[in-house]
Structures are given as C-alpha cells and as structure tokens.
Amino acid sequence: MTNGDRIPPDPEFVQLLDPDGERVEHPDYSVEFTPDEYRGLYRDLVIIRKLDAEATALQRQGELGIWASLLGQEAAQVGAGRALRPQDMAFPTYREHGILHCRGIDPIMPLGLFRGVDQGAWDSQKHKVHMYTIVIGAQTLHATGYAMGITMDGKVGTEDGEAVIAFFGDGATAQGDVNESFVWASVFNAPVVFFCQNNQYAISEPLERQTRVPLFKRASGFGFPGIRVDGNDVLATYAVTKQALDNARLGQGPTMVEAYTYRMGAHTTSDDPTRYRAGSEVEAWRDKDPIKRMRIFLTKAGIADDDFFTQVDDDAAKQAVELRERVLALPDPGPLSIFDNVYPGGSPLLDEQRAQQERYLASFEGGH
Amino acid sequence: MSSVKDFPLPDLGEGLTEGEILRWLVQVGDTITLNQPICEVETAKAAVELPAKWAGEVVAIHHPEGTTVEVGTPIISIDTQPGSGSSAASDSSGVEAGLIGGPAPGGRTAVLVGYGPRNVAAKRRPRVSSTAGGSAPAAAPASGASAPASVSAAAPAAYAAPGAASSAASAPPASVTGPGGSAAAAGPVGLAGSPAAAGPAGSVAPVGLPATAGSAGLAGSALGQPMPGAVSAAPGALARAGVLCKPPVRKLARDLGVDLTTLTGSGPSGSITRDDVMAASAGAASAVAASSASAFSAASASSAGSAFAAASAPGREERIPVKGVRRLTAENMVASAFTAPHVTEFLTVDMTRSLRAVERLRQHRDWRDVRISPLLPVAKAVLTALRRYPMVNSTWAGDEIVVKHYVNLGIAAATDRGLIVPNVKDAHALSLRQLADALNNLVTTAKSGKTPPADMSGGTFTITNVGVFGVDTGTPILPPGEAAILALGSVREQPWVHKGKVKVRHVTTLALSFDHRIIDGELGSLFLRDVGAFLTDPETALLAWG
C-alpha cells in the first residue's frame, strides 16, 4: 500500500505559495513582508538545511552518536519559528533545529547534545526554548502545564500576552501524552499551539496506519480548532501559526496546526527509509521542495537575484565549515560533570556521591 | 608529523559493532573533497554512504568490497596534504581498535529504536597502588616480562602473565586450578605467570585488590581480565585468567583447539587477537599435515586442480562466516520449517501446449523484444488459480487467517549473494505482457545484486524454478508468512500418452508445499490440479477462468 490510499494526496490546506513558486491567495490568511523579511526567510531555510546536512555528515564520520535530520521540513520550522514573539515559549522534539536557529540559539548546541558531551546546554529561560525531548509527545504535556501556569500568572489575555507552542510529529498523535494534553489544554483553555509536523512517517509507519481521519480534524473532538497548512510553504505556515499564537495570547485557548510536510531523509541516522518507502514517493515530494518554490517566487517578484542566492549559499557553506571545526574541538566532559545541574544549590547526598566518585577516579594511574 | 590520516569505520547506528563495505566510490590516487561520498557501507540497520572526513588524496584503501569490518578499524587513508612528501606511518586519529567492537551482534536484542547495549568487556585502566607505591618500580623490572614500564605494582603481575606464560611455559597458569576461591586465585595467577617477580608480586597483589575482593568479579577486574569471563568462570576457566583476550576470540580458540596460554598476543596491551589464533591454528594444521605428508602425497598429486585442498595446503577446511543473505535464509528456513506444518504434493503435467503458446508469443511483433521463459505461463497459471482459491494466498496469524486479495508474487532467484526472493507487487492486476516485463526486471535486478529491500518483503505466494538446475522437482520450504510455494521442475521431452498414443511431449513435475494449518489436502489438490490444467491447456483455462 502506498502512502495516501486513505488520506487524500492533495489535502485541503492553507497555501500561500504553491510548489511552482506562485503566490496564491487565501480568504483567511495573508502575509505582509518587506523584501528584507522575505530574503531573511529564504536565508533561514538555506542555512538550516546546510547545517543539517553537515551534522548528518559528521555522524557518518563518527563525530556524532546520532542525528535526526530536518531535511524537507525547513519551511514548517522556519514558518513557526519566525511567528513566535520573544515572550513566547517553545517545547521542541529532538528535530527542531530550525526552531533553535530562529530563537537565536548557537547551532552547535544540538550537535553537542548528539555528540554526547552535554545534555542540551542552551539557556532555556533566555531563549525560551525548552530542552529537546526524546520521549515521544511528552513535551506536549510540559507545554500544556506551562501554558496553564502563565495563565495563572496573569500573563495571558492582552495583545502583548504570552503564548506557548508545542512541537510534535504525526507519530506522536497516537501517544497518550498528546491526547491527554489536548484534553487539559481544551478544558483549561490553555494558551498553547499544538504544532504537528506531519512528515508522513512515524519512523517506518506510514500515516494511513496511524489515523483514519486527517490529523487536524482530531482537534474538534477535543473542543478546539484544528487547521492544516502546507508545511512546505513558509509563508502559509508563518501566517497560520501567527494567527494561532495570537489567539492563544489573547486568551482564546488552544489551536492545533497540522503542517503537512515530508521527511526527505531518514528518521535518524540509524534508519534506512528505502526499506519502507518507494523512491517514486520521495521524488514526488522533491517537486514540492520548500526552498525551490521560495527561490522561484523571490526571483519572479524581483526581490532577490542570483547574486543574493550565491551569497546565501556561500554564507551557509562557511557556517557549515565553522560548525564542523567547532564540533571537532568540543572538549569531552569531565566525568564529574554528571553531578552538575542536578539540584540548584546542591544536595548533601549528591555531594557525598560526588566526593566518593572523585576519590575513586583519583585511584587510577594518570588521574582522570 | 605525517599528513596521512586513517579513517576508522564509525558506529553508524547506536551500538553497531561492524559493517560490510558494499562499494568503494573512490580509488587510490583520487583527490577528494570534504564530505564527498567515499563508500557504501551496510550495517545491520541500513545501507549508507560515508562522506569523506577530510579533503586530500586517497593513499590506501584497507578493505576490499564485500568485507565485513569491525567498528573502529581504519578503512581508508587520506593524505590531507598531498605532495608534501610525507607518506610515512599514518596518524590514527580514530578510536583505538579493540575498544569498540567485539562479539558478533548475534546475541543482541532489538529495542524500540536501536539495539541493546553491547556485550563487550570494557578496557580497564591500571589502578594506583595506595600503599605499595615504593615497591612498584622494583617489581616491574624484576618481572623481566613484557609489561609496559609505566604500569604500576598491581598491574605488572597481571599484564605480564600473557607474555610470561610463553617464556615460562614450565609454570603455565593452567596449573592454578585450585577450587580455593576466586579471590585467592588472583594472587597465584600473578605468581605463576611471572615466577621471577614472585616475591614482589605476591606481596603486592593483595594490596592492589580492593579491600572487598571476595568476589570473582573484583578479582577479575584487578587482573585486567574482562569481567564476564571471570564472573562466569568455572574453576577450570580460571586457568585462562592471565590471558588477555576478547570473548569471541576465546571462543574461536576453543573451536579451533588452540591453547591461548601458549600464544603471544599482538593486540593492544599484549592481548591475543583473532589473527594470532588463526595463525596458530594454521601452523598446527600444517605441522600435522607435514608429519603425515607421505601418506597423502599421492592423493595431493592427483587432486591438484580440484576443489579439494591438497593435504599439505593450509585450507583443508574453510570457515565461512554466516552473515548477510545466508544468515537471513537460514533464519527464515528454520522459522518456517518448525512453525508451519508443511505437506508437499506433486503433479506431473504435459506442458507442450504452454510452450507452443510461449513460442507463438515470441513470434508476435508486440512481444518481439521480450524474453519469455516457461516461468511466464506458470506464473499466469498460479495467478489464475489463486483467484479461484484465495485461501491459498493467505497468512497464518495466530488466532486468525489473513486472506490477501492481492498477489505479491515471489520468485526465488539464485544470485551471487545467495538465494533471494523478490516479488512482483500486485501481480494479480498485471496484464500478461506487464507480468513478463515485471518478471524479467525482477530477475535482472536480482542477478545484479541491486534488489531493494522493499521488493523482498510482503510476498504472498512464491514460485521457485528449480528446473533451471536440471532437477525434476523438490519439496520447497515455505517463505515465512506465506501459505504455499510452487516448485517448477525441469521441462524434459518424455514419452507421454497423448490422445491414446505414446508421444514425445514436454513434461514437467510441479510440487506444491503448503501450510497444513490453513490448507487442507482437498484445497491444496484442487489448486495444484488447476495449475496443472492451465499448463496442459492454457487457451481453455484462460477462456474458462481467465
């Protein structure tokens, strides 16, 4: 069975930029960007793709333990990431490298995590991005709880209010955690946007074996709106996410956004997608590439020329080289660092264990 | 400093220990760029391309295509400053071989993502002696063994053992088999292994052991001995305690009958490697062969050029690692043979009319470029019969039978890599011409070794054409998950009663094996009879049932 036997291959979704780079109008959504902003979005897309490819190569060279590639999902992440306002809080999965980019987090951060030299080292308070969550769907509960919390703190209900966004994939929609968070968010009117990147596969399991209804329609059963957007269209994703976030910050409760996209690469570097999907399917999605359509649009609209595109490619390549050099130079963590960042201010029991471990390590030749 | 760097095979997927090099994409002498694909590697999880870690010139490729390489082993050397003239010893910037890798992944269990932890002993570092620091320098030279100078008191006794065992063969560790408790054995092993150091080692060993050293585990670790071996050791196994060697190599030595205590290790820290054991085994074999050479000399002369080894050659027996397609085939066959109760029925049929039909098709201009084998009418006969008896196209799924209303028709193909069974997807929906093309593609792709894994899964019924090897028929084993398989024997000219007279006809024997849990003798017989009827008279069968 090929993907899409039960789910319509061309779903009804919000689209502002079609695969051929044509701007299309939508009755409810539109975007107003300056030429600089348009070029900025394009630059975001290219840079996160390039850095992602470099990370994949580093894994193949033995420098990362594993890597979850975002290839194909750039527009969904940049659209959502750029729709966030500084006060908004994001709860990512382990694939949201594009969200980290949009939040100004140093691109080496996720690589340090997957190299195993730290547990995720960005300042989640400063950047307002929670740590990567490996447990599938668990972050939707964290996000819902956080959203309920800021409501109690009185930070919701004005135009400058705060909002929360939880990222997850199509596979996570089958998790209890996600459904529980839907219930809580709905009942407590929590200011949270459930942003589902439907990349068509839960590792190897195709969408039609995960659901009989389009995912965004699940939301109505829980009592809040759901909407599907072309996740390979950065403009539409931005517009839809921004609207959902604004509704949340004004106190109008949760929204589910299903960004309909496709994972062009493997689930992670440990996965071989040729074992469960046909090459023709991948080729069909290649025509819907998020960067290609943006490039055509910018060219036709006269917003950017070949010099600009070349410049962006050069910048991205340069950043990739820098990233590689910095990753290779990352120091191995000291064995005692495992005791850091457990309790603020420490704990007597852990302090004792730490001292014990220190004595043990000192018993080896050459120290540690 | 040399500008040549070795690239070790990385762990490509969370705990893998080895990978097979499928294809090299570069050659020695090539100038390559950073991240340029250099080779394809297949692991237990995925076939992937490896990008070059450095730009430069390829100066060596260490393993040919088709070899399985342990993680951590250098596979390619790249000169990052070609032309600078330094092609001396290379820098191994990678992981030290021997740290990662180890036993074959057979004993591992799949978990949600990835595989369970690897079951290999960690390499242990020498401990500082807390009180006998002063005696350490004295002990090391006194032992006179091959222990590294930097290793301290407790360690020399342990690490010296392998080397010393060969020089002091008169006191092999094997003599220390006393049942007196494993903790006690720790000291004696050191003593036996390095008699010259007896005094210092004897006094140092208890100090080097942690105060709680009452367990075999701790004693083992203090000896630099991999824990699992020590923990599970029967009293006799303690005899090996002084030998540094990975568990799979121990097993290999046991299988080949090589006494590890007689070897000098060439691996890290003097550990005994697979190659050491193989070399010792080959040496022993040739010694035996030499001593009996006269008895076999005539035989070796006459067998020259045959597949059998001459008596004096080292390769009297060959050990072929069970892996890849062979392992998969074995697992499938065992799984199927011992879960599905098979029965096999036979039917000898006159295929003359089918072959004539094939011949007429070959003459037809629409079919002029198509290769048609007798497999085509057989496939069509099977598809036609399956439509009439869908239960034959089903799967036993425990408490239910899954009847498939589509046919993914598997064709068993012999390839260089072994038996593989790709299938034609949705074969029931194909026209005869499409079926012929699909069969040809399937076989061509299989022979070239490029069958994608997706083509090999999801089969619902399989045909195996053993006739191409010239045999009459066989009793095929079901592919797992399928309820029936048809074997096609060779088609021969034979005397056959045709229209009341004995004529020379093209006759073959069909064999149908089926899962007796699903298919009763009646159904199996009806199905096989229909296939036979189709091949005997394809035109009528097509008109009646097609």
Q: Does B46 contact chain A (CB < 8 Å)? A: yes
Q: At what angle do helices A234-249 and A35-60 cross, to 10 degrees?
A: 100
For helices B538-545 and B375-388, angle between their N-to-C axes, nearest 10 degrees? 30
Kind plus residue range of the DSSP H or E element containing B420: strand B418-420
pLDDT tens digit string along B87-108?
Answer: 444 444 433 333 333 333 444 4
Q: Is the pLDDT of residue A145 over 90?
A: yes
Per CATH, the number for B326-545 is 3.30.559.10
Q: Are A290 and A52 in contact (CB under 8 A)?
A: no
Residue A258 clears pLDDT 90, i.e. is over it: yes
Choice between B72 and B111, residue whose per-residue pLDDT is larger:
B72
CA gyration radius for chain A? Answer: 21
Torsion of CA B390, B394, B396, B402, to 10 degrees: -90
Q: Which residue has the higher pLDDT, B259 or B349?
A: B349
Instruction: Assign B234 a pLDDT band (cuts: 50, 70, 90).
Output: very low
Give mean pLDDT, residues B376-396: 94
- CA atoms A183, A189, A190, A196: torsion sign: positive
- Residues in A touching B127 (Cβ below 8 Å): 363-365
Name the pLDDT band for B131 (thresholds 50, 70, 90): low
Contacts with B452 from chain A: Cβ below 8 Å: 274
From CA B19, how far away is CA B9, in angstroms rounded?
Answer: 8
Cβ–Cβ of A65/B14 closer than 8 Å? Answer: yes
DSSP string, A220-254: HHHTS-EEEEETT-HHHHHHHHHHHHHHHHTT---
CATH architecture of B4-100: Beta Barrel (2.40)
Mean of per-residue pLDDT scores for chain B: 73
For B418, counting Cβ atoms within 10 Å of its Cβ (0-12 exposed, 13-18 middle, 19+ buried), the class is middle
CATH 3.30.559.10, chain B: domain bounds: 326-545
Regarding predicted confidence, which is higher, B431 or B197? B431
Among chain B residues, the shortest Cα distance to A362 is held by: B128
Examine the pLDDT at B70 and tell me if it is beyond 50: yes
pTM given for the model: 0.54
In angstroms, rounded to a whole number, what is the distance separating the alpha carbons of residues A130 and A165? 10
Question: For helices B136-143 and B154-167, what crossing angle results, to 10°?
Answer: 10
User: pLDDT higher for A240 or A2?
Assistant: A240
Please give the Cα distance from B435 to B424 (Å, whole number): 8
- CA-based Rg of chain B, rounded to a whole angstrom? 32
So what's the pLDDT on residue B187? 36
Q: What is the mean pLDDT of residues A89-101?
A: 97
Q: What is the DSSP string of A170-191?
A: TGGGGSHHHHHHHHHHHHTT--
Chain B interface mutation, best of A63, A267, A275, highest count of B Cβ atoms under 10 Å: A275
How would residue B242 be classed by pLDDT, with cut points 50, 70 and 90?
confident
Quick check: A274 pLDDT over 60?
yes
Per-residue pLDDT, averaged over B442-461, amounts to: 83
Residue, of B94 and B405, whose pLDDT is higher: B405
Task: Indicate where chain B has its CATH 2.40.50.100 domain(s).
Answer: 4-100
The alpha-carbon gap from B51 to the nearest alpha carbon of chain A, in Å, equals: 6
pLDDT digits (tens, 9 = 90+) for A305-348: 999 999 999 999 999 999 999 999 999 998 898 888 888 888 99
In this complex, the residue of B45, B49, B454 whose CB is nearest that of residue A270 is B45
Backbone angles phi, psi at A18, to 5 degrees: -85, 170
Is the pLDDT score of B116 beyond 70?
no
| pLDDT for residue B237 is more than 50 | no
pLDDT value of residue A352: 93
Q: Which residue has the higher pLDDT, A260 or B285?
A: A260
ipTM for the assembly: 0.77
Runs of H (alpha helix) within B84-196: 136-143, 154-167, 182-193
Pick the CATH number of A35-333 from 3.40.50.970, 1.10.1380.10, 3.40.50.720, 3.30.70.1140: 3.40.50.970
Which of A206-210, B276-280, B303-307, B334-338: highest mean pLDDT?
Answer: A206-210
B378 vs B134: which has the higher pLDDT: B378
pLDDT score, position A77:
98
φ/ψ of B37, rounded to 5, equals -60, 130
**Model confidence pLDDT, tens digit, residues A183-198:** 999 999 999 999 999 9
pLDDT confidence of residue B379 = 95
pLDDT at B308: 62
Tell if the CB–CB gap between A366 and B48 is shorter than 8 Å.
no
Nearest to B510 by CA among B462, B465, B469, B460: B465
Does residue A201 have an active-site annotation?
no
Alpha-carbon distance A311 to A303, whole Å?
Answer: 14
